[in-house]
Amino acid sequence: MPSVNRPSVPSVPAEPVPASNPTLRQGARGPAVARLQAALNQAGFDVGAPDGRFGTRTAAALKSFQQANGLTADGVAGAQVWQKLSEPPQAPAASPAPGGWRPRNPATTAPVWSASGTAKANPAAVGESARRLVEERAIHYGVDQPWVNIDPNHALRPNTPQQFLKGRWKCNLFGGNALHAAGFEPPFYGNAGRGEYPNANQWYKWSDKYASAHRNKVHFKLVDEVPVVGLDPARREAAIAELMKKAQPGDMLMADHLGDTVADGGHTRVVVANNFERNGTVDFAQASFDQATIKSEAPGSLVGEERIWLLRPNRPRAPNQG
């Protein structure tokens, strides 16, 4: 049978990355960088106001985004990154934490929603959940350990050791997990009900006093605040004592360390018991260097801070939130 000459079929090259979405890395500048920054903010990975400059903050946010989406966390925005950023956000499905741990919400403390959808919140549930995190999952909040998240709405997938967070303080992650476990919605950069928790010294921006100025949802009642460094040294401890007397189980005591640092520039404490009238201390659940723990602290432990806020959670998760 004679051979048949068939026309050759040219190979089809891979579709190139559109010029409008070029590969970007630290040091790049221009409109494409601004689009990348805006998209990362929208996805819940805070880079601040888009300025078209690919600096260390944008690189860190991009690496977190890549890690959360199963991409190589190299800080380079290539075709896969642009593709993921263009996809509509998916609400992650809730799944049990390692070891079968599940949040416990006793009927006496758990926030609930009425049939009309009105929130009925009792912040004491946050103190209960914080205590359980210390009892059962303390190691996941130590500096030298990877973080294992329990919140399916956080940008980093739950139940997966986040190795890149070794060497980082996890106090804000502990506080956000305690809120979620108690049925409250933690604050998120971008206000989308998902994404990344703010740094500890930024949470006050989600309080009823400051949220409007920062265009945020209200997640807390600001019970009290003390501008520590603005007070005469002789009055600092007394002012902090007055704040601590008001603390109730489930309240969040947020401290801003001295200096302008945002990342790791503050500390998160969750009130689990107030013993102030008896012995001048409050029991706080919190992340520490080795692991999460509960410490009894007096006003003297806070006199070296720049400012402290006492926040009371008041935003339960919507019934359809994971």
The CATH number that applies at residue 247 is 3.90.1720
Indicate if 251 and 168 belong to the same structural domain: yes
pLDDT of residue 104: 43
**For 2-59, how does the pLDDT look when each residue is reduced to its tens digit (9 = 90+)?**
333 434 434 434 444 455 789 999 999 999 999 998 888 777 677 778 899 999 888 8
> What are residue 53's DSSP bridge partners?
29
Tell me which amino acid residue 11 is.
S
Indicate if 192 and 61 belong to the same structural domain: no
Tell me which amino acid residue 101 is.
W
Distance (Å, rounded) from C-alpha 17 to C-alpha 113? 47
Residue 149: pLDDT over 90: yes
Distance (Å, rounded) from C-alpha 63 to C-alpha 277? 47
Indicate if 180 and 309 belong to the same structural domain: yes
Distance (Å, rounded) from C-alpha 160 to C-alpha 94? 13
Collect all residues with Cβ–Cβ distance below 8 Å to 297 and sequence separation of at least 6.
269, 281, 282, 284
Q: 79 in a domain, yes or no?
A: yes
Indicate if 75 and 145 belong to the same structural domain: no
Indicate if 200 and 284 belong to the same structural domain: yes
Number of structural domains (the chain) is 2
Q: 97 in a domain, yes or no?
A: no
pLDDT of residue 61: 80
Indicate if 139 and 251 belong to the same structural domain: yes
Indicate if 263 and 308 belong to the same structural domain: yes
Q: Are 312 and 123 in contact (CB under 8 A)?
A: yes
Q: 61 in a domain, yes or no?
A: yes
Distance (Å, rounded) from C-alpha 198 to C-alpha 163? 20
Indicate if 153 and 70 belong to the same structural domain: no
Indicate if 60 and 174 belong to the same structural domain: no
pLDDT of residue 45: 74
Among 134, 176, 125, smallest CA distance to 295 is for 134
Among 50, 48, 291, smallest CA distance to 148 is for 291
Instruction: Show the domain range for 41.
Output: 31-84
Q: Are 111 and 179 in contact (CB under 8 A)?
A: no
Q: 214 in a domain, yes or no?
A: yes
Among 143, 172, 170, smallest CA distance to 252 is for 172
